[in-house]
Structure 1
Amino acid sequence: MLGTAGLTKRLGDFTLDDVDLTVADGEYFVILGPTGAGKTILLETLAGIYSPDAGTIALDNRDITRTDPKDRGIGMVYQDYMLFPHLTVGENIGFGLKQRKAEPARIRESVQETAALLGIGHLLHRTTGTLSGGEQQRAAIARALALRPRVLLLDEPLSALDTVTRERLRRELKAIHRTTGTTVIHITHHFEDIFALADRVAVMQDGRIVQTGTPDEVFRRPATEFVAAFTGMENVYCGVSRVRNGEATIDLGEIVVRTVTAIEGDVCVGIRPEEVILSRQPFESSAANTFSGTVAEIRQNGMFSRVVVDTGLPFVAVLTRQSVARLGLVEGEPANVTFKASAVHVFKR
């Protein structure tokens, strides 16, 4: 439905580099990456704010690479809302339709309908300076949706909001997407957005897309060491894999990990913290990977605790506070680590 081929844009020292992207009709597509990866530049190039130096953009099998932004059928919402302070909420929502010289009756109808969808119908008479952050973001999204775009681009729309408002608006975005069927491309650095909203995810690094897949594929089967580390896999180590009859032993220097893979030679392995099981007592288990060590650190992180056990390599596990207390885990005391062979993800170094 929306696709790019070899999309390249140079801005100063930064280059959006040879981006190939395909987004399906009605898909909620999330782009993830660190600051400076090129996420916003990619969205702005799709929207027509920048003209690419090379490559093409197609929407509904129509080349829109050089099409004027107002004629693309693409709406964009920024993190900082960019509402007009001298206009009311209703006037902001209807602004684009007024610019297109739509009939006043149609503008009123669209404003009322879109505002109701976002739950801000009672705010239409207010000026934007009197709104909360969440209300301003709803107004900005309503302004974009009033134009009935084929694609809605969201540039970190939840980042400036407090936790409670962010969770509420996240649920509303999911409901809006379900109701309208609009194709959405949403950039974020909040992992919660991905699991709550995304059909598929792309990860960007230094102006390139380095992996695309479902949230589960990207988080559990990262394609590179960068993706593994960025998505919070944490337990990422490199070594040498030797495969026999489909079973691999991977020498990480201090320990040897066993798993099932066909990848040989120089590799990295990743184990997500939630896959690591801890105990004070030796495990009576058939798990392929069991190691003894010492609790190096216990750090509280909200509802959960991050526990590091040094087995020669530091393994990170995530447990509830109650589990830490029940297991009797104490810094400096012995502990055992285990994880299944299936929890070990292997990728080429």
Structure 2
Amino acid sequence: MLKVESISKDYREFKLREISFDVREGEHFIILGPSGSGKTVLLEIIAGIISPDRGRILLRGEDITGLPPEKRNFSYIPQNYALFPHMTVFDNIAFGLKLRKIPRKEVARKVREVAESLGIDHLLHRKPRTLSGGEQQRVAIARALVVKPELLLMDEPFANLDVQTKSKLIREMKRWRKEFGFTAIHVTHSFEEALSLGDRVGIMLRGRLVQVGDVRDVFSKPKSEEVARFLGFENIIEGVANGRILKVGDLRIELPREVWGKVRVGIRPEDITIFMEGVKTSARNVFKARVEGIEDLGALVKLTLNLGGIILRAFITRSSLIELGIREGEEVYASFKASAIHVFP
């Protein structure tokens, strides 16, 4: 449906370099990256707000690179929602329909239908300043969907919401997608949004799209250490592999497949299980470790573990920390399955 070809742009402090990807009909495509990686600039280039220095954008095979935003039939939801403060919710939602010269009765019908679907039909007489963040977001989404856009562009759509409102809107976004059948490009730094909503994801780091693929594949099989570290592989270790065994100092770690020679592997902290004593487990990799650090992260606690000179980090729940009675300096057992190990190419 949409094809982005070799887009480059120097814009203020941002530099985009040779960005290429495609978006399929009916897909929810996530652009995932940290703040400052150029995600919003890329989205605004696709929207037609900013012109690229090089490259082109094709919609159904037609070059739309020079087409103004109003001719693209895309709906763009910026991070601040950009609702008109002097207009009611009804008039905000109706704005795009009125620009298209839709008859008044048809405008009223379409606005009420989309407002009912998004659960805001009781707010149509209100002004944006009287709404909560979640309600404002629903209004912005309703305004975007009511015109039946070719493509929905969303810039950090849930960034300004509290955790509960965000979780609710993510669940409802799945329902709205089924109901309205839209195609979306969704910019975010949130792993939760990517995993919950995305079909495919493009990882954007320092102005480059460094990996594109199915969301689950990218998260489980990052193609570089840079991508892996961004996606939460805090434990990256180097050793010498002899078939299914990786030798790291005095440790012998079972690998998910045969590998030979010097390699580097990654293990997520959440894939390491902690026991206070040796137990029978399906995990082949079980090692005695000393707890060298305990970091409180809220619901989770990060443990820094020393396995014979090899430092690993593991996540456990706060309740598990209390139940197990883990303290700094104590010995524990750390286990992880061979299948949890990612071998870097």
Please give the range of the TM-score, normalised by the shorter of the 2 chains. over 0.9
- Bigger shift: residues 46-55 or 225-234: 225-234
User: What amino acid maps onto 2:314 in structure 1?
Assistant: A
TM-superposed CA distance for 1:34, in Å, is 0.5
The CA distance in 2 between the partners of 1:330 and 1:60, in whole Å, is: 60
Structure 2 residue aligned with 1:320, among 311, 314, 317? 317
- The 3 A distance-change label for structure 1 pair 93 and 266 is farther
The CA distance in 2 between the partners of 1:9 and 1:149, in whole Å, is: 26
- The runs of 5 or more residues in structure 2 that have no matched partner are none
Q: Is the 8 A contact 1:283 1:290 kept in 2?
A: no
Alignment-derived partner of residue 253 in structure 2 = 257
Alignment-derived partner of residue 151 in structure 1 = 151
TM-superposed CA distance for 1:42, in Å, is 0.9
Q: Deviations over 1:14-53 (max 9, x none)?
A: 2211111111111111111011111111110110011111
The CA distance in 1 between the partners of 2:261 and 2:106, in whole Å, is: 65
Structure 1 residue aligned with 2:288, among 266, 277, 292? 292
Alignment-derived partner of residue 41 in structure 2 = 41
Q: Taking structure 1 as the reference length, what is the TM-score of the superposition?
A: 0.91
User: What amino acid maps onto 1:168 in structure 2?
Assistant: K
Q: Deviations over 1:118-159 (max 9, x none)?
A: 111111111111111111111111111121101101100111
Alignment-derived partner of residue 117 in structure 1 = 117
Structure 2 residue aligned with 1:279, among 271, 275, 278? 275
- The 3 A distance-change label for structure 1 pair 93 and 250 is farther
Any residues of structure 2 matched to 1:90-239 within 5 Å, and which? 90-237=90-237, 239=238
Tell me how large the CA RMSD over aligned residues is: 2.0
- The runs of 5 or more residues in structure 1 that have no matched partner are none
Secondary structure of the 1:229 match is helix
- Bigger shift: residues 318-327 or 157-166: 318-327
- The 3 A distance-change label for structure 1 pair 243 and 122 is same
The CA distance in 2 between the partners of 1:98 and 1:297, in whole Å, is: 60
- Bigger shift: residues 255-264 or 38-47: 255-264
Secondary structure of the 1:269 match is strand
For the pair 1:331 / 2:328, whether they are aligned, the reply is: yes
The CA distance in 1 between the partners of 2:13 and 2:144, in whole Å, is: 31
Q: Is the 8 A contact 1:254 1:313 kept in 2?
A: no
Alignment-derived partner of residue 84 in structure 1 = 84
The CA distance in 2 between the partners of 1:232 and 1:256, in whole Å, is: 24
Q: Deviations over 1:246-283 (max 9, x none)?
A: x35254x5745331446655543111122212222235
Alignment-derived partner of residue 340 in structure 2 = 343
TM-superposed CA distance for 1:310, in Å, is 1.4
Q: Is the 8 A contact 1:220 1:272 kept in 2?
A: no
The CA distance in 1 between the partners of 2:160 and 2:140, in whole Å, is: 13
- The 3 A distance-change label for structure 1 pair 287 and 157 is closer
The CA distance in 2 between the partners of 1:285 and 1:143, in whole Å, is: 53
Alignment-derived partner of residue 63 in structure 1 = 63
For the pair 1:242 / 2:241, whether they are aligned, the reply is: yes
Q: Is the 8 A contact 2:241 2:263 kept in 1?
A: no
Q: Is the 8 A contact 1:292 1:336 kept in 2?
A: yes
- Bigger shift: residues 326-335 or 76-85: 326-335
Alignment-derived partner of residue 31 in structure 1 = 31
User: What amino acid maps onto 2:157 in structure 1?
Assistant: P
Q: Deviations over 1:279-331 (max 9, x none)?
A: 22235567443322211223343433322221122222222334334444222
Q: Is the 8 A contact 1:267 1:346 kept in 2?
A: yes
Q: Is the 8 A contact 2:245 2:252 kept in 1?
A: no
- Bigger shift: residues 79-88 or 310-319: 310-319
TM-superposed CA distance for 1:74, in Å, is 1.1
Equivalent pairs, count: 344
Q: Is the 8 A contact 1:306 1:316 kept in 2?
A: yes
User: What amino acid maps onto 2:130 in structure 1?
Assistant: T
Alignment-derived partner of residue 50 in structure 1 = 50
- The 3 A distance-change label for structure 1 pair 12 and 179 is same
Q: Is the 8 A contact 1:114 1:146 kept in 2?
A: yes
The CA distance in 2 between the partners of 1:73 and 1:87, in whole Å, is: 23
The CA distance in 1 between the partners of 2:203 and 2:311, in whole Å, is: 26
TM-superposed CA distance for 1:181, in Å, is 0.9
Q: Taking structure 2 as the reference length, what is the TM-score of the superposition?
A: 0.92
User: What amino acid maps onto 2:287 in structure 1?
Assistant: F
- The 3 A distance-change label for structure 1 pair 305 and 240 is closer
Q: Is the 8 A contact 1:30 1:201 kept in 2?
A: yes
